[in-house]
A = this chain, B = another copy of it.
Amino acid sequence: MRIGELAALAGVSTRTVRHYHRLGLLPEPERRANGYRVYGLRAAVTLARIRRLTELGLSLAEVGDALADDRGRDLREILTELDADLARQEQGIRLRRARLAELLTRDSLHPDDPVSPGMAGLLSRLPQAETGMLARERELLALLDTAAGPDTHRLLLETAPDAGRMGKVEDLYRELDALADADPGDPRVPGLAERLADAVPPEMLRSGLLDPALRPADADGGADGEAPAGEQEAFARAFLADLPPAQAEVVRQVMALLADRSAT
């Protein structure tokens, strides 16, 4: 047999056969004078064994072990391990399919993409916004949905304000947006900060969710704080750093006010 016939017999490509030669799974056979490989039935038998094993899901390296470890004994180990691995894969796929199914049943695929069900609910209660501060907060929440640790995540969903309260602060957000190009010393800043501080739900303060953000390190006017940076601080700092100066100043003042109040 030449390589093409062997390959056809075993139902693989010639490329595959040569690949197995290079990996040492299939011994290189004799050559004819013209350089063509000549195969006997043994090669087909070995090739079929390799295929049976790979079709079960063994890697070629594992197949190599199984063939080398002279028949048997070790094979059972390999297969057992393989089964465990496949079980893990199956679980992973099922989990992703479940998430997918949940996503696909949602009436509208959220513009912020596949967030968790809880976060999707939270986002849907927030006023919609394509631009401005509200849009940024929506993005931040989407980011937190995947990047925050489970504790932060849980607190976030538990202390989420209800729709009624959110409706009330919508005007305040518009005022914030108006400060996009303003100076940090803008006269509108202090008043807005106070009204915003008043609007923060008390249960959010009590939850401790804001504690890291309230730490003094965030209150200094410097460009970058140097705090040891737990995860929540990291998010808070990144958020602040991303804001226009006047808006950042508002947020800082809000934080200062809240820190004062929670201290008393």
Contacts and interface: CB of A to CB of B under 8 A. Distances in A.
A44 B236 CA distance: 13
A242 B41 contact: yes
Interface in A223-243: 234-235, 238-239, 241-242
Interface SS of chain A: helix, strand, loop or mixed? helix
Interface in A30-66: 40-42, 44-45, 48-49, 51-53, 55-57, 66
Contact of A109 (B76, B109, B241): B76
Contacts of A11: 146-147
B45 A96 contact: no
17 contacts: A5-B234, A5-B238, A9-B143, A9-B238, A40-B238, A41-B140, A42-B242, A44-B238, A48-B142, A49-B112, A51-B146, A52-B115, A53-B114, A56-B114, A57-B93, A66-B113, A86-B100
A213 to B, nearest CB: 14
Q: Chain copies in the assembly?
A: 2
Which 7 A-B residue pairings sit nearest by Cβ, starting from the closest? A41-B242, A45-B139, A48-B143, A48-B146, A40-B242, A90-B93, A83-B100
